[in-house]
């Protein structure tokens, strides 16, 4: 079963708070991935984000689980700006 994490109520339209991203990562993303579950991160209503927010949200999961973890992480309702930031972080984590 996939677990959906809706960001807008926690971040507002501009997702920038690294502490919020860290809390979501530690309390929801990492425990679910450790159980072998899939995660949907819903960016509906998010107009913009920072690279540091996305890095804080997903980089540790990639570091722990390896790049294949992206087969269990789904990014939903991303506008082109958000997609670009996610792509930058994922590419950086593959270096």
Domains contained in the chain, number: 1
DSSP 95: -
pLDDT score, position 1: 72
Measure Cα distances from 82 to 12, 31, 34 in Å.
14, 24, 26
Q: Does position 80 have pLDDT exceeding 90, yes or no?
A: yes
Distance separating alpha carbons of residues 65 and 82, to the nearest angstrom: 23
Q: Which domain holds residue 16?
A: 2-93
**pLDDT tens, position by position, 18-73:** 999 999 999 999 999 999 999 999 999 999 999 999 999 999 999 999 999 999 99
Q: Does position 95 have pLDDT exceeding 90, yes or no?
A: no
Distance separating alpha carbons of residues 73 and 65, to the nearest angstrom: 11
pLDDT score, position 33: 96
């Amino acid at each position: 079963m996939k677990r959906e994490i809706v960001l807008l109520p926690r971040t507002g339209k501009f997702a920038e708070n690294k502490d919020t991203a860290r809390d979501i990562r530690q309390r929801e993303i990492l425990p679910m991935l450790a159980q072998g579950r899939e995660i949907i991160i819903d960016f509906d209503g998010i107009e913009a984000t920072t690279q540091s927010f996305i890095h804080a949200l997903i980089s540790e999961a990639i570091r722990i689980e390896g790049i294949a973890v992206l087969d269990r992480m789904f990014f939903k309702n991303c506008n082109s700006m958000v997609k670009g930031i996610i792509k930058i972080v994922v590419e950086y984590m593959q270096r």
